[in-house]
Amino acid sequence: MRNPPPLGEGFSGRPFSVAMEHSPVGTALVSLEGAWLWANAALRQLLGYSQAESSRLTFNDVTHPDDFGTDMSLMARLFAGERSSCSMEKRYVRKDGGAVPVWLTVALVRDDTSAPLYFIVHVQDNTAKLAAAAERALLMARMSRANRTAGVGIWEWEFATNAVSWDAVMFDLYGAAPSDDVKLATFEAYVHPEDRARVVEELSAAAAGALFDTHFRINRRDGEVRYIRAFATLLRNGPADLGRLIGTNWDVTDARRLQEDMLAASRAKPDFLAMISHEIRTPLNGVLGMAQAMAADPLPDGQRTRLDIIRQSGESLLTILNDVLDFSKIEAGKLVLEDVEFDLDELVQGVQATFEALARQKDLTFDVDIGEAHGVYRGDPTRIRQILCNLVSNAVKFTDRGRVGVTIGRRARGLQIQVRDTGIGIAPEHRATLFNRFEQAGASITRRFGGTGLGLAICHDLTIMMGGAIDVESQPDQGTVFTLTVPLVRVGEARAREIVRSQTPVARQSPDLRVLAAEDNASNRLVLATLLGQVGVAPVIVENGAEAVEAWSSGNWDVILMDLQMPVMDGLTATTSIRSQEATIGRARTPIIALTANAMSHQVVEYLAAGMDGHVAKPIDARALFAALETVLGDTEARETRAA
């Protein structure tokens, strides 16, 4: 073999060798016998040798023993002229004895006569690349384990060959054997017949580039029906590539069945709440009804104090019940707002009358200023009253001294109502969550004042439903201001309020008033008889709807008080029967008032549609009962007057 040209100072001074010395790629010239003739800075740094030390190295010194045979085979192929260069992964041995993985490219340099001179070697540190590959392999292994654990199967549909491939999890999901020949038709056969056409259409759209994100049922090989969630994306390697769909399937049967159970429970919730409402209101009717009856009797101060506690506790329980029902209706989207005309003065004065006595008991000043907002408005007076009562109730509850004030004004956006107090105030950290459900301004407030934490949340939701806004300004120990803005339209001047109420039979406490009452609960019968007896009315009470129809047909009545849930015949059926017979025989209409513990809004609509003239919710408020009687009897008198 010919010797290579000298590689001393003359070689290292050439422009080419200078460039190679500073190349970031490790480079060496190795003699045909394996001695290192020259190594650049990058390679010396990689292996830890100085320039002088590298000149004494040989092929054997830097080659890992396990890679020696592969290297010799490589050299032989180069000598034989089979290849002009070769590349391989191998390990070099550093000066400190450590092994470093490299990517090696070797070429044999020949002279003009093709005689071999020496090898030129390019070396790249492969440590980072191998580490990244190891990390990818680890991630793939973890992903595979995660997919199997989560039950996520991976599939691919190659358009050019129409081949479909499944991983092991896919076979598990579909209950198929791994040896099965999977085709597109195979997959389609597993899809539930009712879902098959839709899924095939969605797959075709995905093949054209649409997103495949769907769910369907499958009939597994064992006959079990399962719910599958599927996702796929289209991949192409270029314009000429037909592409492939790569996607996933995962079993969502348990989640789907849980969702169905929750939907069923949600659908059953209104009936459940109506039943709970009825069952709680019925005993409350006995408690509050008798408390009202006893309050009308002369009592020693001590007994009256105890009676007040019973009444207040019952009313607190009723407030909680109403809050829970309202919250449920709002949550279910079943709360319907009214759109009627109402007199703002009457509404506000009613709220004022409700809380004046409580304010006086606490030595609080309670002011109401309607200003220029007097008039008739269109909206839902029941819900406006509910919001205002809640805000005033809170103001009185959380104020121990000073004043509570209600100020109402007209603004460009509608009606603005402000409720101010000089009470305990609200800390800044609690104001942000004040309108959240089930939350109050701190645990200590809950322990001190009680409550469900639903009142303000309901006020907020009702306000939003009406297209308005509610806000709060407060500082601890400096009071609170709630500002309610509702887009109500003023439609007229305030109505003239009567100074003396019309003298209906109830107001005269007439013993001649003929009242038929249908009530199956013994306690409620006693409450009804007691309350009416205190105004001089002795009702005839029957125990079910069938008896009510029979009593109506055999007598003349000024009004019927009809319970709804009764044995033998319920109140709605009895009302329908009476109205039908009235129409058949031409008998004058007898007013019917529903007395019911089922007082949800959709139920009240049903009562009126069945032919009832009004309703009084249980627990019965004596004032509401007498007002309802006066209303229907007044309407009857007006009809009779017009007829005369």
Whether residue 84 sits in one domain with residue 59: yes
Give the predicted TM-score (pTM) of the model.
0.49
Whether residue 638 sits in one domain with residue 541: yes
pLDDT over threshold 50, residue 147: yes
Domain count within the chain: 5
The pLDDT score that the predictor gives to residue 509 is 44
The pLDDT score that the predictor gives to residue 337 is 83
Q: Is 120 part of any domain? A: yes
Q: Is 135 part of any domain? A: no
The angle that helices 545-553 and 571-585 make with each other, rounded to 10 degrees, is 20
Total length of the chain: 644
**pLDDT tens string 152-177:** 888 889 988 888 988 888 898 899 88
Kindly provide the b/e burial profile for residues 14-26, where b requires at least 16 CB atoms within 10 angstroms of the residue's own CB: eeebeebbeeeeb
- Domain with 241 in it: 140-251
The pLDDT score that the predictor gives to residue 196 is 94
Decide: helix, strand or coil at residue 485.
Answer: strand
User: Quick one: pLDDT band at residue 403, thresholds 50, 70, 90?
Assistant: very high
Q: Is 536 part of any domain? A: yes
Average pLDDT of the chain is: 82
CATH number, domain at 74? 3.30.450.20
Torsion angle, alpha carbons of 500, 505, 507, 511, to 10:
150
The pLDDT score that the predictor gives to residue 584 is 93
pLDDT over threshold 80, residue 358: yes
pLDDT over threshold 50, residue 224: yes
DSSP state string for 508-577 = TT-TT--EEEE---HHHHHHHHHHHHTTT---EEESSHHHHHHHHHTS--SEEEEESS-SSS-HHHHHHH
Tell me which residue has tokens 């919730």. 269
Whether residue 247 sits in one domain with residue 115: no
**Residue where a domain stops, chosen among 459, 492, 525:** 492
Supply 241's token pair.
Answer: 């590539």
Tell me which residue has tokens 């292996």. 47
| Cβ–Cβ < 8 Å for 534, 296 | yes
What are phi and psi for residue 614, nearest 5 degrees? 180, 180
**pLDDT tens string 477-516:** 889 999 999 999 898 888 755 433 344 445 444 557 899 9
Whether residue 488 sits in one domain with residue 344: yes
The pLDDT score that the predictor gives to residue 499 is 37
CATH number, domain at 570? 3.40.50.2300
Whether residue 459 sits in one domain with residue 379: yes
Which of 38-52, 215-229, 378-392, 443-457 is predicted with the least confidence, judged by mean pLDDT?
443-457
Q: Is 406 part of any domain? A: yes
The pLDDT score that the predictor gives to residue 136 is 66
Whether residue 313 sits in one domain with residue 420: no
Please count the CA atoms within 13 angstroms of the CA of 84 that sit on its side-chain side.
2
Q: Is 212 part of any domain? A: yes
Check the CA dihedral 587-593-598-600 and report its sign. positive
Q: Is 94 part of any domain? A: yes
Whether residue 76 sits in one domain with residue 170: no
The pLDDT score that the predictor gives to residue 132 is 73
Whether residue 474 sits in one domain with residue 393: yes
Whether residue 346 sits in one domain with residue 475: yes
Q: Is 2 part of any domain? A: no
Q: Is 501 part of any domain? A: no
Whether residue 116 sits in one domain with residue 181: no
Whether residue 622 sits in one domain with residue 538: yes
CATH number, domain at 398? 3.30.565.10
**pLDDT tens string 516-573:** 999 998 888 998 999 998 888 999 999 999 999 999 999 999 999 999 889 999 999 9
Question: Measured in whole angstroms, how far is the alpha carbon of residue 277 from the centre of its chain?
Answer: 25
Whether residue 362 sits in one domain with residue 220: no
**pLDDT tens string 564-591:** 889 999 999 999 999 999 999 999 999 9
**Residue where a domain stops, chosen among 62, 96, 125:** 125
Supply 421's token pair.
Answer: 């107090």
Supply 99's token pair.
Answer: 């092994």
Decide: helix, strand or coil at residue 432.
Answer: coil
**Residue where a domain stops, chosen among 492, 526, 561:** 492
540: alpha, beta or left, given left = phi > 0 and alpha = psi -120 to 50? beta
pLDDT over threshold 50, residue 42: yes
pLDDT over threshold 50, residue 365: yes
**pLDDT tens string 584-613:** 999 999 999 998 876 555 667 788 888 999
Mean of pLDDT values over 409-427: 89
Distance CA 615, CA 383 (A): 17
| Cβ–Cβ < 8 Å for 28, 36 | yes
